[in-house]
Structure 1
Amino acid sequence: MARVLVVITPAEGHVNPSLGLVTQLTNNGEEVIYVCTEEYRSRIEQTGAQILTYPFPQDAFSHDPVLKPQEYKHSYQFIHMMVSGIIRRIIPDVLRVIENQKFDYMIFDSLMGWGGTILAEKLGIPAVCSIASFAFVEPLGSDSGLNEKETKELYEATMNITRELAEEFHVSIPAMEEIPAHAGQLKFVYTSHYFQPQAEKLDDSFIFTGPSIIPRQDAPTFSFEMLRERYPQTVYIAMGTILNKNLDFYQLCFEALGDLPVNVVLSSGRYTDMEPLADQIPHNFIVKPYIAQLDMLQHTDVFITHAGMNSTSEALYYNVPMVMIPLTSDQPLVANRVEELGAGITLNKHNLSATDLREALAEVLNNSFYKRQAFLIGESLRHAGGYQRAAEMIMSHMASAKCGRTNLGPIESR
């Protein structure tokens, strides 16, 4: 069987979708070497893969000024983040820890962009792109939020780093718009063709396999029987793993939902100090630092979320409609698509009030239309094939490509 290199950006929303695929590849007999950070060792080793690590700050995506999620006013801001925050910091370390090792093919994270192409070229192997969000038909960012001077300065700063990296690794210099492009012979998108915006503009190398639904073995227990004993309906609130320390938002939730005859389960985050609000928690709230989300969603009527791609996909997989408060990055794009397909309501974080939240929840909770639309998207996700189909297609493609290399010479990594 093949020896596979997997390189994924060390962030929850990128590592977690890859775990089902890696598990299936190892179960199918592939030898998988997964390069990431120490933070993810336990869950990666549970897949059967071998992990190699490099140093990277654990809270980088929360506090680092370059990596911290933001609303991109221009696509160049996103590209600069990729080049300076990810490619320059991670790719040299990956090459260091795999030095002198041989692989048959590799799987890399789409957030690495051109960095994945560098690895494939240096190793001389074909590559597969793992896309944890929507495939970007258009660059992330409006291209209208910066003035001409700011745009030019950002372009020059980004291309200066790009030229330095190209010289260091002895590869060709890409054009600006090529840096974030989805490279690889195959591109696996963890959603459905139905849910993907503008899917008709993507070619056949984009494979839609649906979300990677795999139980977390380190998840804590939760008494779901207790919920129905209290109220017949349950609302679940979780704002992801990066920007989940906003106590003002949690206080607003208490005000908006505290007197409703529903269960409200709030996942506040492992590193969020809720002590300042301890005496304000309403009787219908259950507040925990971490909840097994896949289990929770199967007992949820409405999900209040930041509209991260993972959380949104998991909710829709279980037919759960949403009230969405997108915070940053691709979350507005995800929320817009959910709202466009009728499976939820989007609220503006900048002028959010308790009344807004309460009214939106009441609408989604009591109008069966949203549940029906969530079911339609959920059906498309469940029928997409999942990580089992992804693993099968990758192995089949690489087996065919190996025969082609034997007969016809090497094949390109892009």
Structure 2
Amino acid sequence: MSGSRAVSQRHVAVFVFADFGHVNPTLGLTRELVARGHRVTYVVDHRYTELVERAGARAVGYTSRRGAFGKVPDPSAARLAAEGYELLVETMDTVCPLAVAALASDVPDLVLYDFESFAAARMTARILGCTTTVQLSPSHASNETFSMRAQLFDPEDPSMRQGGAALMRFTRDHGLAPDELGRFLAEWDDRNLAFLPREFQIEGASFDDRFAFVGPSVAEDGAAVPWTPPGDGRRLALVSLGTESNRQRDFFRTCLDAFDGDDWHVVMTLGRGSDLAGLGPVPPHVEVHEWLPHPVVLPHADLLVCHAGMGSVMEALYFGTPVIAVPQTFELALTARRLDDLKLGRWIDRDQLTSQTLAAAVTEIVTDPGTPERMARMRAQVRGAGGAVRAADLLEQWAADRAPSVSGV
């Protein structure tokens, strides 16, 4: 904790998309803010209420209609746009009025939000007169040079047109003048926190001082988790597709067949609520769990095989562990490609994944003499980005500055 200067106690509101990969990167920052005496309120799907409350925050809960958004392998552009439209409507029709009602008697000093929550968060800030808004990027940030949304969505898609029309109605109904729209609808804020180091950001050198790349906040204390590394001299691989239950049995079976039990011990996490027996027979060198926190295993791991979720990737890089990425969506493919470009791992297209292609990628990584140096350099960059302490310092500074925000206040 910083604690190096006296600051006013602040109330911080957090709006995040209903997904573990969006909630989890904020929790270290929340713990740091609470430790400094600030109060934090999340407007969040009920599934994550317990998680944010354990971090010391208050939760204002709702039930999201997220469904399978971002979870179905290789979704079409049309499906992404249609589901994105439904979630946009949810933020405007459900999240915004809920937040305004919940926060009106205790107006926040800062409003933090991810891009998926921008309409609700910026409008809530505008209605309540909160001058300091900060956009959070759990994945790659966007600016004038690189746009994540332009990579993902076709502006001519009918659902995108519907979304644009819905946003126009939403802003008009809340009194925004035409000359305010450009700023309100911008893909980034005047203040932005990205939970990755600049060196990993796509086009990182093009981002100016509106963007702070603070890296991840990784909780290293695994004392409460009953897991012990094998300690038998074999290499260790962690295989995971994230925290949530999934039905990708074939992926895990392929990974089972790719690792030789004489050389490797494999830890697999199938996701909370998964049917472990449904995986079928498991060889002795493989242990299967619903879930283990990655920071418990990664300090002992020689390799992570994952879907290229940014949270998983940042945890691996924090510990200097190379990654084999098998992305499930186009957004994740951007991160997989970045790993490959920086030679911090290998990208295998999902359609090309076999036990043979995976085994070959594993061999390439562990026999490449440059891997240890590259991993050590990125490990230092991830840890040197500042994490939760630097992020909290910046938020305290920005709250004190009270500069006008994109919300129009």
Change (3 A) 1:218 1:5: farther
Instruction: After TM superposition, give the deviation of residue 281 of structure 1 in Å.
Output: 0.6
Aligned counterpart, 2:26: 18
Give 2:267's aligned amino acid: V
Aligned counterpart, 1:407: none
Instruction: After TM superposition, give the deviation of residue 338 of structure 1 in Å.
Output: 1.0
Aligned counterpart, 1:388: 389
Note the 1:262-301 alignment, pairs <5 A.
262-278=264-280, 280-301=281-302
Aligned counterpart, 1:127: 133
Give 1:250's aligned amino acid: F
Q: Contact 1:36–1:54 at 8 Å: present in 2 too?
A: yes
For residues 81 and 136 of structure 2, what CA distance do their matches in structure 1 show? 22
Which moves more between the two structures, 203-212 or 361-370? Answer: 361-370
* 3-state SS of 2:197 partner: coil
For residues 157 and 295 of structure 1, what CA distance do their matches in structure 2 show? 44
Aligned counterpart, 2:263: 261
Which moves more between the two structures, 370-379 or 380-389? Answer: 370-379
Which moves more between the two structures, 341-350 or 192-201? Answer: 192-201
For residues 52 and 145 of structure 1, what CA distance do their matches in structure 2 show? 30
Instruction: After TM superposition, give the deviation of residue 152 of structure 1 in Å.
Output: 5.4
Of the three residues 80, 101, 105, the one matched with 2:106 is 101
Instruction: After TM superposition, give the deviation of residue 287 of structure 1 in Å.
Output: 0.6
* 3-state SS of 1:228 partner: coil
Change (3 A) 1:10 1:28: same
For residues 234 and 186 of structure 1, what CA distance do their matches in structure 2 show? 40
Gaps of 5+ in 2: 1-8
CA deviation vs aligned residue, 1:94-122 (integer Å, no higher than 9, x gap): 22333443222211223223333212211
Aligned counterpart, 2:250: 248
Which moves more between the two structures, 255-264 or 127-136? Answer: 255-264
Aligned length: 395
Change (3 A) 1:248 1:144: closer
TM, length-normalised to structure 2: 0.86
For residues 217 and 260 of structure 1, what CA distance do their matches in structure 2 show? 28
Of the three residues 11, 17, 27, the one matched with 1:9 is 17
Instruction: After TM superposition, give the deviation of residue 88 of structure 1 in Å.
Output: 4.3
Aligned counterpart, 1:27: 35
Instruction: After TM superposition, give the deviation of residue 290 of structure 1 in Å.
Output: 0.8
For residues 21 and 85 of structure 2, what CA distance do their matches in structure 1 show? 20
Give 1:14's aligned amino acid: H
Instruction: After TM superposition, give the deviation of residue 3 of structure 1 in Å.
Output: 1.9
Aligned counterpart, 2:6: none
Of the three residues 110, 132, 149, the one matched with 2:115 is 110
For residues 368 and 181 of structure 1, what CA distance do their matches in structure 2 show? 41
Aligned counterpart, 1:228: 231
For residues 281 and 324 of structure 1, what CA distance do their matches in structure 2 show? 22
Note the 1:118-197 alignment, pairs <5 A.
118-125=123-130, 126-137=132-143, 138-140=146-148, 151=156, 153-172=158-177, 179=185, 181-183=187-189, 185-197=190-202
For residues 27 and 145 of structure 1, what CA distance do their matches in structure 2 show? 40
Identity of aligned residues (%): 23
Aligned counterpart, 2:358: 357
Give 2:242's aligned amino acid: G
For residues 170 and 10 of structure 2, what CA distance do their matches in structure 1 show? 30
Gaps of 5+ in 1: 405-409
Q: Contact 1:53–1:97 at 8 Å: present in 2 too?
A: no
* 3-state SS of 1:298 partner: helix
